[in-house]
Amino acid sequence: MRERRARRSLLSPALLTASIALVAGVSVGGSYALWNGGAPISETEVRSGTLTATVAVGDTGSPTATSAAFDPAAFDGMLPGETRTQTLTVGNTGTTAFLVAASLDAASSASADVSWTLAPGSCAAPGGVGVPLGATAANVGGPLAGSTFSSYCLSVTLGPDVPADVAGTTVADFTLLLDANQDRP
């Protein structure tokens, strides 16, 4: 009889372990239902998409560039009161429409000698009034739909009352910052 008890005592822990493993397996397997389900949402619209902005100097957009540099020669030798322009093209290679907002770096926006504006459309055919640029971003033009490109005209004006030592210099050290803000109609 002692041998039977020894065998029973070996079988009991094995059965207990198998029972615990089975219960744990059923518990874990059943928990997946917590992540599956649905519920109606009233008076709400849910959309998804991508927002990808690109920029290029000139009338032709870039499908990938996220920064661009103006040629310093475009603003070389400016005279008091003179305005020079450069076209840049912003692309929306994503699927979600966005608004283009523009601002200047802190040093440029604090300049009393130079002013900047940005208008929708190329400089050859501006499509709107230029938005004055400063340290705070301002929306320029309407929304840019997904998979499209749009040109903007940057105007740089040297003030008419600049000191004589500033006249005829190059306005080349400025940073134009562009933001793509999702359009939420």
Mean pLDDT calculated for residue range 35-56:
78
pLDDT of residue 3: 52
pLDDT digits (tens, 9 = 90+) for 60-88: 999 999 999 999 889 888 888 999 999 99
Per-residue pLDDT at 24? 42
Q: What would be the CATH architecture of the domain defined by 53-182?
A: Sandwich (2.60)
Give the DSSP per-residue string, the chain: -HHHHHHHHHHHHHHHHHHHHHHHHHHHHHGGGGG------TT---------EEEEESSS--SS-S-----GGGGTT--TT-EEEEEEEEEE-SSS-EEEEEEE-HHHHT-SSEEEEEEES-TTS--SPPEEP-SS-EE-SS-B-TTEEEEEEEEEEE-TT--TTTTT-------EEEEEEE---
- What pTM was estimated for this model as a whole? 0.72
Tell me: pLDDT of 21 over 70: no
